[in-house]
Chain A
Amino acid sequence: MREEVAEAALDLIQVEYEILPAFFDPMQAMKPDAFSIHPGGNIAGGKPIVLERGSVEEGFAQAERTFEGTYTTQVHCAAGMEPRVALAQWDGDFLTVWKSSRGIHMLDRPALARGLGIPAQQVRVICPAMGGGFGSKDETRMGTLTALLARKCGKPVRMEYTRQEEFVAGRTRHPSITHLKVGIGRNGEITAIHARTIMSKGAYMSSGSAVIRRCGQGALYLYQTPNAKFEGTLVYTNVPPAGSYRALGAPQGQFALEVHMDKIAEALGLNPLEFRRRHHVKPEGQPGRRLTPPGELVSDQPVEGGIPFSSNRLSECVRLGSRAMGWQRRWRPPNSSPGPKKRGLGMALGLYRGGLAQKAGAEVEARLDGSVEIRVGTIDVGEGAFTTLLQIGAEALEIEPARVTILGGDTATTPEAPVTSGSSTTFSMGTAVQQAAATLKERILDRVCAQLGADRENVKWNKGAIQMNRPTKKTVAWKQALALLSPEERRVRLAIQPGSTEFVINSFAAHFAEVEVDTETGKVAVVKYVAAHDSGRIVNPAAAQNQVEGGVMQMLGYALTEELLVDPKTGIPLNGNFLEHKVPVIVDLPPLKTIFVNAPDPAGPFGAKALGEPPSIPVAPAISNAIYNAIGIRFQDLPITPGKILDQLPLKGRG
């Protein structure tokens, strides 16, 4: 009821529009003579991004057989339970905006300063608890609009999206069309992988360039080959704008890749498991020559070969996951189960950035009352990042976690921090917190040793208390130790550049699905699901399991039911709501087993690597491959709905 007046006012605004040609299909929008949505044509940036290792042309020349296929994915909405909301208040020339966000320092603050024409120092952004981020909610738009209105009327202004606005005017997962060509040599080796993806953007760039880049990483890096190429084209259209959503373009790209590899395995007469075992990328990385100059940081989504991974336990994921599924024992050739309900097993691998971000800052302060506060400029988007960071901080300080609190999500009280993206928080922010906490511990030890006239070798740190053995036995309690430090000394603020000059840091996964396809109704039931992950050392097993289970479930919706339908004639979104977009509910939950290799990565904080997004990557191809195994029909277009299945089933197959 609070918005009644504003809603009524909307009806009274008279707008005269000049209606322009609209495109809902990127193939139409890409045509050279198509009406330009923005100056410069409808291909964002004017041309595709092209990334190549070796030469796919040479690779295909060496191939004995080549395999081609086209794969398409739908518009998919993140649909966090909390609709986007912003609240703005001015105090003189100083602006405070509260909003759901994923980057208060790096995204919202500069965007608000630019939009309102004030210096960034006069902008404070606060993100309280977030009702689900999933990589979405990265726009500043609502903050800017509420700030403008608040300035104009001299009062705080709040704006909240309706559920329909959230679906239609939020940001979606880019729909995609991927064409894949893979060359197989005489000895069964992969001679070349060439992927070309076209993504429909809507009319705004949003996070598009990162999305398309991430789409190509599977083709470039998941399978061992000297020659790999990705061409990604982002096309402006007039569908609801796409942006960033959990794992950006990786689910689209790796859906195409992993269904394609399944087809190749069959054509070569190999079990899908065996094919992948042989060809997936190994710890030594891709063949080829390192192009990054020595001493420079290596990208965690590289194109070049010749650089090993910091850790790569994909083989372990495959081994543990397949064993939990009973793959060797239970796998049957496609379409071999009798009766109208047919079961099948499918698998897919996934690879993703290990968690590198831009410069990451953290502050750790110990107070005289014995409490420790960690301050981070990131947010907890609902995944539990603050819990993980607190654990890392407490571990580095070697004190009871109950003494430690964490403050975040406020530009006024925290050091600059990167955007919550690329599953980078644990790795990058974790490293910053770890180093700040470790620095503080060293300072305390130094100061206590100086006070006692003790050598560092003769003191022991015991949960913050410092025990001296020589020359006399003595213990300095935690609070006593802190009292020896000045307020400045008790606070460590630092910023680090995360990454490695020697290694590629990636996370890995192998997923296994068993489905039952009802050939009379076209309905797919997931009977069992196993997700095996290498995310380095797991910081918080319960929260990590929760992340994987949630990611798998969210993407079962992507695989089987979810889609934002856009009317092909009018461009009007038809189903901007939970029910008709068909998000999974609790009754859809299959028996789900999560496995972590849980082996420490040498580069990550206490051995941790990225975890948030990887679970969402192999789900759709694992399901498509399992459906193939059940009924012998390939589905290369998501979502795989009962209607699509019935359309493909020969009548005789139906019961």
Chain B
Amino acid sequence: MTRSLAVVGKSLTRLGALEKVTGRSQYTGDLTLPGMLHAKILRSPHPHARIVSIDTCAAQALPGVAAVVTPRDVAPDTRLQPDRA
């Protein structure tokens, strides 16, 4: 590198800084889509356990609930594997 550098080595203002200080920067959590629904995960109270059965009927029947997914909704070969996730 013989020529002197004009841009590299300079403290250019961080991209997005203006958006960040004005609250305009959009993070994933700030996005809204029409008809968007909200999901939560039921977590096991046990550090190590196997699920014997899941009954989602009552949850499904709760007004406002659109869908419940369980491992049955995923083909076994695409389930989260211990070597991934």
- Please give, as numbers and ranges, the residues of chain B lying within 8 Å of A99 by CB-CB distance: 28
A540 in complex: contacting residue of B11, B52, B54, CB < 8 Å: B11
Closest Cβ of chain A to B85, distance in Å, is: 5
A390 in complex: contacting residue of B11, B15, B42, CB < 8 Å: B15
| Interface mask (A386-400 → B, CB under 8 Å = 1, otherwise 0) | 110011101100100
Name the CB-closest residue of A to B34. A156
- Please give, as numbers and ranges, the residues of chain B lying within 8 Å of A387 by CB-CB distance: 12-15
B35 in complex: contacting residue of A37, A156, A239, A608, CB < 8 Å: A156
> Residue among A12, A146, A540, A542 with the most chain B CB within 10 A?
A12
- Please give, as numbers and ranges, the residues of chain A lying within 8 Å of B68 by CB-CB distance: 9, 13
Name the CB-closest residue of A to B55. A14
B7 in complex: contacting residue of A205, A391, A406, CB < 8 Å: A391
B37 in complex: contacting residue of A131, A157, A600, CB < 8 Å: A157
**CB atoms of A543 and B54 under 8 A apart:** no
- Please give, as numbers and ranges, the residues of chain A lying within 8 Å of B53 by CB-CB distance: 14-16
Tell whether A141 is near chain B: CB-to-CB under 8 Å: yes
B36 in complex: contacting residue of A5, A15, A158, A236, CB < 8 Å: A158
Closest Cβ of chain B to A86, distance in Å, is: 7
Name the CB-closest residue of A to B56. A13
- Please give, as numbers and ranges, the residues of chain A lying within 8 Å of B16 by CB-CB distance: 129, 380, 386
Name the CB-closest residue of B to A20. B48
B-binding segment of A111-119, A416-424, A480-488, A521-529: A111-119
**CB atoms of B47 and A571 under 8 A apart:** yes
- Please give, as numbers and ranges, the residues of chain B lying within 8 Å of A380 by CB-CB distance: 15-16
B-binding segment of A61-69, A147-155, A173-181, A585-593: A147-155
Known contacts A155-B66, A160-B29: A149-B78 contact under CB 8 Å: no
Known contacts A391-B12, A540-B12: A17-B44 contact under CB 8 Å: yes
Bound CA–CA A600/B5 (angstroms):
12
**CB atoms of A87 and B31 under 8 A apart:** yes
Closest Cβ of chain B to A550, distance in Å, is: 13
Bound CA–CA A202/B59 (angstroms):
30
- Please give, as numbers and ranges, the residues of chain A lying within 8 Å of B30 by CB-CB distance: 128
| Interface mask (B57-82 → A, CB under 8 Å = 1, otherwise 0) | 01110111111110001110010101
Tell whether A139 is near chain B: CB-to-CB under 8 Å: yes
Known contacts A391-B12, A406-B15: A130-B27 contact under CB 8 Å: yes
Number of interface residues of A (CB under 8 A): 94
Bound CA–CA A584/B82 (angstroms):
33
Tell whether B22 is near chain A: CB-to-CB under 8 Å: no
| Interface mask (B1-34 → A, CB under 8 Å = 1, otherwise 0) | 1000111111111111001100001111111011
Known contacts A5-B64, A37-B48, A156-B33: A401-B84 contact under CB 8 Å: no
**CB atoms of B26 and A128 under 8 A apart:** yes
**CB atoms of B62 and A539 under 8 A apart:** no
Name the CB-closest residue of B to A204. B85
Known contacts A5-B64, A149-B69, A395-B7: A156-B37 contact under CB 8 Å: yes
- Please give, as numbers and ranges, the residues of chain B lying within 8 Å of A2 by CB-CB distance: 38
Bound CA–CA A128/B39 (angstroms):
20
Tell whether A296 is near chain B: CB-to-CB under 8 Å: no
Name the CB-closest residue of B to A542. B11
Known contacts A6-B40, A128-B31, A391-B12: A19-B46 contact under CB 8 Å: yes
- Please give, as numbers and ranges, the residues of chain A lying within 8 Å of B41 by CB-CB distance: 10, 145, 159, 165, 169
Bound CA–CA A37/B47 (angstroms):
11
Tell whether A98 is near chain B: CB-to-CB under 8 Å: yes
From 582 to 632 in chain A, residues with beta carbon under 8 angstroms from any chain B beta carbon are: 600, 606-608
> 9 A-B residue contacts at CB 8 Å?
A13-B58, A15-B42, A82-B29, A115-B74, A117-B75, A145-B69, A159-B41, A169-B43, A384-B15
Contacts A19-B48, A87-B28 aside, 15 further interface pairs with beta carbons under 8 A come to: A9-B60, A12-B62, A14-B54, A19-B49, A22-B46, A82-B29, A129-B16, A149-B37, A152-B66, A152-B73, A156-B35, A158-B36, A204-B84, A401-B12, A608-B8
Which residues on A are within 8 Å of B, measured CB to CB?
2-3, 5-10, 12-24, 37-38, 82-83, 85-87, 89, 98-100, 111, 114-117, 127-131, 139, 141, 144-146, 148-150, 152-153, 155-160, 165, 169, 203-206, 236, 238-239, 241, 380, 384, 386-387, 390-392, 394-395, 398, 401, 406, 537-543, 570-572, 600, 606-608
